[in-house]
Amino acid sequence: MKIKKFEFNMFPVNCYVLSDETNECVIIDAGCYYEQDKQALKAYIDSNGLQVKHLLNTHLHLDHIFGNSFVYKTYGVKPEAHQEDEFWLTNAVSQAMMFGLKLSDPIIELGKYLVDGEIIRFGNAFLKTIHVPGHSPGGLAFYAEKDGCLFSGDSLFHGSIGRADLAGGNFDTLKEAICSRLLTLPDKTIVYPGHGDTTTIGDEKLINPFLR
């Protein structure tokens, strides 16, 4: 599986495009806000002849959904996320106003609800959804067991974890979910977070002060 990482918007958010030898792909967290963000994503997908099969959201906080409308308009694929995060879509415009931002595109409704343990297939590759609430109630991680990697959204970072003070967040819930659902994966699993640098499950067991 090929992994392409982009860093989009003012927050900034990691967006990932995953593809395999069939040229089918998935986009995780299309946070493209600026026009150059959108064109960078499109240029990569089009120049590599990729076919977008899924648009996945680890959660529906504003910074992770900026590009959902663009992807839908360009490739005809609606976002997929956990139902418990859907209320964030209703509040997206007011969230943007709080940061002095304007949403130039309409909010796209979810095309599918993802549930814990669901298998998402594209080409010969697949991801398993893992429900990791606490940063947001519907937080998800996507695990590619065959490739030994995890896309953790804003639950687990290098040396840190996601904030838990936004609507529906809970620190104890987040810590418990990370420890019971993510740290049980093999130590060599590479973690691709929603912000910042990659890490591994083994390293986080050793260095992460929030998980002790």
Nearest partner of 65 among 99, 31, 101, 107, judged by Cα? 31
If pLDDT is split at 50, 70 and 90, which confidence band does 212 have? Answer: confident
CATH for the stretch 2-211: 3.60.15.10
Average pLDDT value for residue range 116-130: 98
Q: Which helix (H) or strand (E) element contains residue 128?
A: strand 125-131
Residues 6+ apart with CB under 8 A from 78: 55, 72, 108, 109, 110, 111, 112
Output the pLDDT for position 94: 84
Output the pLDDT for position 103: 86
Q: Which helix (H) or strand (E) element contains residue 122?
A: strand 119-122
DSSP code at position 118? -
- The residue that leads in pLDDT, 132 or 102, is 132
**pLDDT tens per residue, range 15-55:** 999 999 999 999 999 999 999 999 999 999 999 999 999 99
